Structure 1
């Protein structure tokens, strides 16, 4: 079972602030779910969760628009917040040392509702960016690493275009082409739809 909540708010970094709409993904079954990225509105996410148990709040990275509802959602649900520790510097911009999380590691398996999710460390958009692969569902939750039309933005602090291209090439484009890519913003796509455009992205970014 895959469900989506769309919330609206702002993303702030390097002195700028932008209006954004975020996709929050719920993965599991009728009894339990994980929440992938708790953005902007914990109440809206909790409403969609309903009576199900939240096993974890998985953060694809620590830009504020992906974690700014994590504390409130964790308090509501009792679920642990999980984040790759390479994003500590970004986490501290939102929460300082007031809130802790449990570390996500590359290759870690997370079980929920009879589904196994695998964590793929895909730095570039942020140092600790991860994607969450659900092989049984033929789905990838890409955060801001891969979008319909290309890689995530790399023009701000703690990002790297070369690194995100390496992550996409090495970790994502080898997945089955029919894998559905559920993104952190905007429409979903597939690996097969994006893979042919790798060289175009490189040319645009160079």
Structure 2
């Protein structure tokens, strides 16, 4: 059985540096009828659990530690009996939302397997120190969190972010993937590596 990708859109707020913004988040599920990996834990646990159904959850993996991507991570981990995974570089951001809850570090996890399909975990800092992207070669799919969107890189104007770093991550870890790779973003529409390359060339030039 081939791997399938499902999307759940949840709504809430992003909060950082004293500001609050209304946001819609993409929560992605990778798997089959038996097991699934949940990517990001945004706002509404019930909506995500409904999409999971009766499948075994391999993990709840947060692409980074901003509150809108980890809002309900501890709740999901408990209700789905699944580990919550996050790169330890984003520990300060995680603690802003969940000061007394621990997670399992992604720092030493290069790959996860779900539904017989390997998922490569790429450390792509810049939007945050611990941001990761997930590449699924067998499905020609990439999950970028807030590192890469349709139209350009993620925001770097707030605490714990850096423009040159995100440009390096995109150039060195993402633009090297096949152009037909479908990019599943943390917010908004999907795109492809090929579609983003022309615009990203300009961003890369600006970064250095």
TM-score normalised by the chain length of structure 1:
0.97
**What is the CA deviation profile of residues 155-177 of structure 1, one whole-angstrom value per residue up to 9, with x for unaligned ones?**
00000000000000000000000
**Structure 1: gaps (5+ residues):** none
Q: Pairwise mapping of residues 1-206 of structure 1 onto structure 2 (< 5 A)?
A: 1-96=4-99, 98-105=100-107, 108-202=110-204
CA–CA distance in 1 between the matches of 2:95 and 2:12?
A: 19
How far is the alpha carbon of 1:190 from its aligned partner? 0.2
Answer whether contact 2:171 2:204 (CA < 8 A) is retained.
no
CA distance in structure 1 between the partners assigned to 2:121 and 2:112 by the alignment: 8
Give the conservation status (yes or no) of the 8 Å contact 1:107–1:120.
Answer: no
CA RMSD of aligned residues (A): 1.2
Shift of residue 196 of structure 1? 1.5
Distance 1:77 1:101, change over 3 A: same
3-state secondary structure, aligned to 1:40: coil
Counterpart CA distance in 1 for 2:15 and 2:48 is 21
Give 5+ residue unaligned stretches, structure 2.
none
Shift of 1:142: 0.4
SS at match of 1:44: helix
Secondary structure at the aligned position of 2:125 is classed as coil
Shift of 1:204: 6.0
CA–CA separation in structure 2 for the residues paired with 1:48 and 1:199:
37
Counterpart CA distance in 2 for 1:9 and 1:205 is 31
State the distance in 2 between where 1:198 and 1:44 align: 34
Q: How many residues align?
A: 205
Moved more, 81-90 or 106-115: 106-115
Give the 3-state SS of the residue equivalent to 2:126 in structure 1: coil
User: How far 1:110 sits from its partner (Å)?
Assistant: 0.2
Alpha-carbon shift at residue 72 of structure 1 (Å): 1.0
